[in-house]
């Protein structure tokens, strides 16, 4: 089990009401995506093996903008995703 699969397992355990979708890449070295939604509040996590986790939580995310923040490891990424979901927070956006 890789790190994003471990993250998905942790989220399922700690936030049982969250709906999740895990998208696997076509290539083994590609980007994995984990979409988590709790009562209409969405947090998207991307994982690149060897590069870390990108997290996005914006009410109006546009494809291709990149993550709102990057975290180096599964524990810190999990803590952040759980906080964003539980507190229904979005990242600050610039006008």
- Domain holding 22, by residue range, is 3-87
Mean pLDDT of 50-70: 82
Task: Judge whether 95 lies within some domain.
Answer: no
Task: Judge whether 41 lies within some domain.
Answer: yes
Task: Judge whether 92 lies within some domain.
Answer: no
Task: Judge whether 53 lies within some domain.
Answer: yes
Task: Give me the number of domains the chain comprises.
Answer: 1
- What CA–CA distance (Å, rounded) separates 30 from 28? 6
18-40: per-residue pLDDT in tens?
Answer: 999 999 999 988 999 999 999 99
Task: Judge whether 60 lies within some domain.
Answer: yes
Task: Judge whether 56 lies within some domain.
Answer: yes
Instruction: Quickly state the pLDDT bin for 63 (edges 50, 70, 90).
Output: low
1-19: per-residue pLDDT in tens?
Answer: 999 999 999 999 999 999 9
Task: Judge whether 64 lies within some domain.
Answer: yes
Task: Judge whether 94 lies within some domain.
Answer: no
E runs forming strands in 1-95: 19-23, 32-38, 41-48, 52-56, 69-71
pLDDT at residue 73, rounded to an integer: 95
Distances (CA, A) of 40 to 15, 25, 61: 14, 25, 14
């Amino acid at each position: 089990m890789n790190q994003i699969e471990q993250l998905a397992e942790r989220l399922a355990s700690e936030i049982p009401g969250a709906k999740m979708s895990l998208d696997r890449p076509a290539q083994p070295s590609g980007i994995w995506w984990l979409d988590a939604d709790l009562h209409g509040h969405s947090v998207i996590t991307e994982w690149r093996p060897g590069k870390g986790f990108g997290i996005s939580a914006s009410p109006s995310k546009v494809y291709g903008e990149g993550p709102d923040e990057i975290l180096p490891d599964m524990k810190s990424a999990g803590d952040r995703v759980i906080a964003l979901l539980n507190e229904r927070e979005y990242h600050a956006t610039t006008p």
